């Protein structure tokens, strides 16, 4: 199966974990695929469920993906915009990046969001307590080369192709509102911010949030996978031992390296865990798909 890369970057993106996630999901998926922390949507893009509720508190991601889904933003629009803005960035450099950042924080245009996401420092997505995008410039005025623009345009094309003829709903909701919608035949994939790593992604993530999420997942009427961190070279995630032991829960792990983060300390190898309320090793392999995608 061809791996589809989304047009936006997020710290904690699960591209490298997709094989483990895909082989851990029971088949067939009969209900609605639900993500309370959809982020870049890389998992849904590659699982490709027929019906999905993709929710996040980051309204800018939801707005961009809704406009792509509705055809308001299409590949030619993206190409023209990035060519135009890329030329100005090349001429004016850092000052123009901050001009666009200020414009976005005032008007919240999805194409400005895409531009900032692909030209900010190390692909970090971060907002301050006032909800303002505050990531500095990547110091690469020539960022939007023709090849790089084509890569992003192809990612938008592939996103549109996946969403075409599928019933995907994008919503700005918190995780409790999202999980309350789950029914018995649905499937939940939860990839929350990792405490201490991604707290400025859009909203803060606290130990209290973690407790509420654990409680909500354990009360779900359907199957779920929780994606979280297991351990790194310094410590282990105590929450796994505390919350997810016993015969009703199953864990799979693999090592993963983060390439997106604001500092080198956040770009180290980590053992990731998938935690489920069913035996993931008994999951049937997904059926191959025949859709043709553009290489990005």
pLDDT in tens, 140-159: 999 999 999 999 999 999 99
Q: How far apart are CA 260 and CA 123, in angstroms?
A: 6
pLDDT for residue 202: 56
Q: How far apart are CA 170 and CA 131, in angstroms?
A: 20
List, in sequence order, every residue forming a beta bridge with 24; answer none if it has no partner.
none
Asked whether residue 259 carries a pLDDT value surpassing 80, the answer given is: no
pLDDT in tens, 71-91: 999 999 999 999 999 999 999
pLDDT for residue 236: 87
pLDDT for residue 105: 98
- Residue 168 in tokens: 């995907």
pLDDT for residue 267: 55
Task: Report the percent of the chain where pLDDT is more than 70.
Answer: 89
Structural domains of the chain sorted by starting position, each given as residue range(s) with its CATH number in brackets:
15-58+167-282 (3.40.50.150), 75-156 (1.10.1020.10)
272 close to 255: Cβ distance less than 8 angstroms: yes
Least confident of 14-23, 70-79, 87-96, 214-223: 14-23
Sheet holding 187-190, edge to edge: 167-172, 51-56, 33-35, 187-190, 223-231, 269-276, 250-257
Tokens 């997020």 — which residue? 10
List, in sequence order, every residue forming a beta bridge with 252; answer none if it has no partner.
274
List, in sequence order, every residue forming a beta bridge with 257; answer none if it has no partner.
269
Task: Report the percent of the chain where pLDDT is more than 90.
Answer: 73
Asked whether residue 101 carries a pLDDT value surpassing 60, the answer given is: yes
Average pLDDT over residues 214-232: 95
Pairing of strands 269-276, 223-231: antiparallel
Asked whether residue 191 carries a pLDDT value surpassing 50, the answer given is: yes
**Which of 158, 155, 176 lies closest to 37, judged by CA?**
176
Asked whether residue 264 carries a pLDDT value surpassing 90, the answer given is: no
Average pLDDT over residues 99-117: 98
List, in sequence order, every residue forming a beta bridge with 275; answer none if it has no partner.
226, 251
pLDDT for residue 193: 87
For the stretch 43-57, what's the b/e string if a residue is b when 16 or more beta carbons lie within 10 angstroms of its beta carbon?
bbbbbbbeebbbbbb
Task: Please name the helix (run of DSSP H) or strand (run of DSSP E) that holds residue 45, with its range, or none.
Answer: helix 42-47
pLDDT for residue 295: 73
**Which of 177, 214, 176, 180 lies closest to 195, judged by CA?**
214
For the stretch 191-229, what's the b/e string if a residue is b when 16 or more beta carbons lie within 10 angstroms of its beta carbon?
bbbbbebbebbbbebeeebbeebbebbeebebbbbbbbb
Asked whether residue 186 carries a pLDDT value surpassing 90, the answer given is: yes
Asked whether residue 164 carries a pLDDT value surpassing 80, the answer given is: yes
């Amino acid at each position: 199966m061809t791996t589809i890369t989304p047009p936006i970057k997020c710290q904690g993106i699960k591209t490298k974990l997709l094989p483990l996630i895909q082989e851990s999901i029971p088949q067939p998926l009969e209900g609605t695929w639900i993500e309370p922390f959809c982020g870049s949507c890389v998992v849904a893009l590659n699982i490709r469920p027929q019906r999905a509720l993709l929710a996040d508190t980051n309204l800018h991601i939801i707005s961009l993906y809704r406009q792509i889904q509705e055809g308001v933003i299409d590949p030619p629009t993206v190409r023209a915009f990035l060519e135009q803005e890329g030329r100005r960035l090349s001429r004016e450099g850092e000052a123009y990046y901050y001009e666009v950042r200020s414009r976005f924080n005032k008007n919240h245009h999805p194409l400005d969001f895409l531009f900032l996401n692909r030209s900010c420092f190390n692909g970090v997505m971060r907002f301050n307590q006032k909800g303002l995008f505050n990531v500095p410039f990547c110091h690469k005025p020539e960022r939007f080369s023709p090849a790089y623009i084509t890569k992003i345009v192809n990612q938008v094309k592939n996103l549109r192709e996946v969403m075409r003829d599928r019933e995907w709903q994008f919503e700005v909701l918190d995780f409790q509102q999202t999980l309350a919608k789950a029914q018995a035949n649905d499937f939940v994939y939860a990839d929350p911010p990792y405490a201490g790593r991604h707290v400025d992604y859009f909203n803060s993530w606290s130990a209290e949030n973690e407790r509420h999420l654990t409680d909500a997942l354990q009360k779900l009427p359907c199957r779920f996978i929780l994606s979280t961190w297991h351990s790194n070279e310094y410590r282990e995630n105590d929450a796994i031992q505390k919350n997810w032991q016993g015969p009703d829960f199953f864990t799979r792990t693999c090592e993963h390296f983060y390439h997106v983060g604001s500092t080198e300390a956040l770009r180290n190898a980590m053992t990731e865990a998938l935690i489920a309320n069913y035996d993931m090793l008994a999951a049937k392999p997904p059926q191959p798909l025949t859709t043709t995608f553009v290489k990005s």
